[in-house]
Amino acid sequence: MIPSENPIASQHRFPTWRTVRRGVYKTLGAYLAAMNAGGYKFTQYANQMLSMVIWAREEGEEELVLVLDMNLGLTSSYVIEELFAAAARFDLYPLDADVAAGLRGQYDDQPIDEWCLAAMDPIVGFDRDHRVFELGQNSDGHWLSVTFANPKDLFHLGSVWIFSRRKPASAT
């Protein structure tokens, strides 16, 4: 369920939305085999991005938080770096790309017509555009898609993002 209001945000704490397993897929081949067996669908650009993901070797659990951008204190359109800065004030961090992609197989109960953006460092595609993963569910099934996230691309208020509580190694 997408949060429309978050009273906990005023206390600088968002509730855990779900805990997922990380490091389940060690290679792209293992990931694709599992996703194909589960009937998940991918857009052309999502397939392209998956070939650029670095798959985790280390297994573990990761707490994820589902956040409406306005609940981070954003009041107008923003670029992805502004989103990350706003989230960091609440100790929320970008997902690793393998966690974002792996979430598709661990979010079977996604409501129909819901689309969530993975807060992650954008992946630069073969066309030089930056993109992030987007998870969606429609009448055609569960999808892993992408959306543009070039450094100057604006996101409009009302977007729902998935963040991690795990501090990235580069931020320690």
Percent of the residues in the chain that have a pLDDT greater than 90, as a whole number: 85
In a domain, 25, yes or no: yes
The tally of domains found in the chain comes to 1
Q: pTM of whole model > 0.85?
A: yes
In a domain, 9, yes or no: no
In a domain, 93, yes or no: yes
- pLDDT tens readout for residues 80-103: 999 999 999 999 999 999 999 999
In a domain, 6, yes or no: no
- pLDDT tens readout for residues 32-53: 999 999 999 999 999 999 999 9
Q: How high does pLDDT run on average in the chain?
A: 90
pLDDT, position 167: 75
Specify the CATH number for the domain of residue 33. 3.10.100
In a domain, 66, yes or no: yes
Sequence-distant (6+) residues with CB within 8 A of 144 are: 35, 40, 41, 42, 43, 46, 101, 104, 133, 134, 135
Three-state secondary structure of the chain: CCCCCCHHHHHCCCCCCEEEEECCCCCHHHHHHHHHHCCCEECHHHHHHHCCCCCCCCCEEEEEEEEEHHHHCCCCCECHHHHHHHHHCCCCECECHHHHHHHHHHCCCCCCCEEEEECECCEECCCCCEEEEEEEEECCEEEEEEEECCCCCCECCCCEEEEECCCCHHHC
Nearest Cα residue to 83 out of 144, 163, 140? 163
In a domain, 7, yes or no: no
Q: Which domain holds residue 130?
A: 16-167
In a domain, 4, yes or no: no
Minimum mean pLDDT range among 3-7, 82-86, 159-163: 3-7
What is the average pLDDT across 140-159? 96
In a domain, 139, yes or no: yes
